[in-house]
Structure 1
Amino acid sequence: MRWLLSIFYCIALIGAIAAQNEYIGIDRYIDSLVDNGSEFELTAILDEFDENFQSDKEKVRAVYSWIVKTIEYDDNNYESGSFAGGRLDRIRKIIEKKEGTCLDYSFLFDFMCSYLSVNSGVVDGIVKLKKDESVVEIMSNRHVWNYVAIDGDEYFIDATFGELYYLITPSKFIFSHFPDEEEWQLLSNPISIEDFFNMPSANINVFFREREILDIYPHSNINIEENSNIEFGIKIKPGSINNYKIGIRERNKFLIKEKTAEANQDGHLSIDYNLNTSQKNTEIQIMIKSGLKGFQELVSYKLY
């Protein structure tokens, strides 16, 4: 588990840069608390948060930032499979030891948000992640994360995996996290576990970092014998669509350049692509380009 988290923490550093400007004041404030090094009472910290931060968004950021800067991941506890103990007991231990597992992170986050009257929850399930442009998928059979509601919008946060997994919308989070209980998908059309495993492999380092991208479609790998023409695309926040271009890559070569992509007023940027049976058992990647950045892999579809 240690090597797995090391991968995610390194990737998360990139995401942290993107979030730095928006949250720099709060994060610096938390740094000053952590660097002080003095002993603390959790309720005293929370009372200070409640006094210094007015909005739920600010409070959630303060809670998240404090947890990731204060609590170390406990590999030994995870590897031993020790998930025993009640919620309050585990919270006391994580504060005392300043380390814990994903379950402890989630319990602590939920407790702190609840104290600050922020609507939050604890969600458990499985996680499917992709490292950069590698086709290797990393699976975990036991994982826990958080739900939070801010100004009427619903998000997920996975403090264990860091900044890239902060305030992710349900339609994006389902590409990597599948909850045990269907209601925690928070989707108008929930998917099955079979659908989850048949979803394309999103490059989380790009998909979650690019906050203007709302969704990817189609949502499943492609049965090439049933589909001869596919519309690949992304949905983008209104007003941001001109910042993006997309292309298709097969066998590491661009088949369609960005000039063929079509944008519409609903915020969809798409490419129609013809498939043939010679492509069976290969993969196609949707590439995106934003601003001055070069093309990056956004998602990879298996053709079967």
Structure 2
Amino acid sequence: MKKYTLLLLLFPFIISAQDFTMVDNVVRSAYKNVTSIENLAKRIDYDFKTDVEKTRAVFTWLTHNVRYKEHHSKLLKEPEFLVYFSEDHLKRIIKTKQEKKIKEAFEGRTAVCEGFSLLFKRICDLMNLENELIYGYTKPSGDYVGILATTKNHVWNAVKVNNKWIIIDPTYGAGQSYNGVWIREFNPTFFNTSISILNRTHFPSETKWLNFQKQQKLEKFCSEPVVRNAFFKHKVDIVEPKEGVIDVKDNNLIKFKIRGVKNIKSLLYVFTNDGTVRTPKVRNKEGYNDYYFQKPKEDTTLHIYINNELALEYAVKVE
């Protein structure tokens, strides 16, 4: 263990490649009956020696113990009017509301993204880990594709480890929604998430974090398809179309050029409006395959699956 820790200190760039099996197993097996946030932070701080292990332990505990509380608003929170008499009074009101969300997330084991991230931040604060909240925009489903974001709808976390910021999204790490139903699915991709993935899934509102992840323009981010876990897991690449909104004219088939699908029969698709699982026609090409999907009867969302796992979502407009 000492040798492993030394390597981590000498080469901080290997964080993303570190094996966290031991950390995950300890948290999953020994942290089931923690009685308070303070007790949880103390146990993590005692059991693990490096900052990256402590940060991973917080991520693993949250993603295995807190469920996402589904709601139907596209906003981070419902609009509300706050009556306050000074800036200090406003800060106290906001702090009180945040404390309530942290308590609900820990005691009730359910939260929306803000509850996940606030609880994550509180545990890190108790261990004196430098961290920040990142507010911004994501595309939870194909319904958001092609719509320019005008308000923040998500929040995630950053922790400084070995003088380097790593990005963590405990909400995305805990599971994902399929057709409006949230399913728990541990996803370590969103611990120390790579810049290439962040650019396709998260758009920060602050310039500091936009520069950090070298994010593209908001218009382009909003116009791209929704990429899901299977897209990264199976390392596929969409050659065409690049845009997330597909306009279908006449009786034309929808054509995709896709690279990296190992078993061409593993790719299936579903239109939200009819829910029928279909197999596309495939033509093998050098370096990629052409996939042909039938035209839907009306505007809908196209879901593409690989090995029965949701990989991509597109908005389809029928003319």
CA contact (8 A) 1:145 1:157 kept: yes
Letter in 2 for 1:90: Q
Distance 1:190 1:83, change over 3 A: farther
Q: Alignment partner for residue 158 of structure 1, among 167, 170, 174?
A: 170
| 1:34 matches 2:61 | no
User: Offset at 1:128?
Assistant: 0.9
Three-state SS of the structure 1 residue aligned to 2:138 is strand
User: Offset at 1:89?
Assistant: 6.5
| 1:220 matches 2:243 | yes
| 1:128 matches 2:143 | no
| 1:207 matches 2:231 | yes
Distance 1:115 1:217, change over 3 A: farther
User: Offset at 1:113?
Assistant: 2.4
* 1:94 matched residue in structure 2: 102
TM-score, length basis structure 1: 0.56
TM-score, length basis structure 2: 0.54
Q: Counterparts of 1:48 and 1:106 in 2: how far apart (Å)?
A: 20
Q: Alignment partner for residue 49 of structure 1, among 44, 51, 54?
A: 44
Distance 1:287 1:109, change over 3 A: closer
Identity %: 19
Distance 1:222 1:79, change over 3 A: closer
* 2:4 matched residue in structure 1: none
User: Offset at 1:195?
Assistant: 0.7
* 1:63 matched residue in structure 2: 58
Q: Counterparts of 1:25 and 1:68 in 2: how far apart (Å)?
A: 13
Distance 1:195 1:61, change over 3 A: same
* Ranges in structure 2 where 5+ consecutive residues have no aligned partner: 1-18, 83-92, 175-185, 248-254, 270-277
1:10-61 residue CA offsets vs partner (Å, 9 max, x unmatched): xxxxxxxxxxx954653443553333x6x3351x432321221123332122
Three-state SS of the structure 2 residue aligned to 1:113 is helix
Distance 1:75 1:119, change over 3 A: same
User: Offset at 1:72?
Assistant: 5.7
Size of the alignment, in residue pairs?
Answer: 243
| 1:111 matches 2:122 | yes
Distance 1:74 1:54, change over 3 A: same
Q: Counterparts of 1:116 and 1:274 in 2: how far apart (Å)?
A: 51
Distance 1:181 1:215, change over 3 A: farther
Distance 1:177 1:197, change over 3 A: same
Three-state SS of the structure 2 residue aligned to 1:174 is helix
Correspondences of 1:213-292 after superposition (within 5 Å): 213=235, 220-221=243-244, 233=259, 245=262, 252-257=279-284, 260=285, 262=287, 271=288
Q: CA RMSD in A?
A: 4.9
Three-state SS of the structure 2 residue aligned to 1:159 is helix
Three-state SS of the structure 2 residue aligned to 1:34 is coil
Letter in 2 for 1:181: E
Q: Counterparts of 2:25 and 2:263 in 1: how far apart (Å)?
A: 34
Distance 1:149 1:187, change over 3 A: same
User: Offset at 1:232?
Assistant: 5.1
Letter in 2 for 1:159: T
Distance 1:159 1:283, change over 3 A: closer
* 2:85 matched residue in structure 1: none
User: Offset at 1:79?
Assistant: 6.8
1:164-205 residue CA offsets vs partner (Å, 9 max, x unmatched): 363232322333332222442456642222112210232x13
* Ranges in structure 1 where 5+ consecutive residues have no aligned partner: 1-20, 235-243, 263-270, 289-293
CA contact (8 A) 2:114 2:155 kept: yes
Three-state SS of the structure 2 residue aligned to 1:128 is coil
CA contact (8 A) 2:62 2:170 kept: no
User: Offset at 1:303?
Assistant: 8.5
Q: Counterparts of 2:309 and 2:245 in 1: how far apart (Å)?
A: 21
CA contact (8 A) 1:222 1:302 kept: yes
Three-state SS of the structure 2 residue aligned to 1:129 is coil
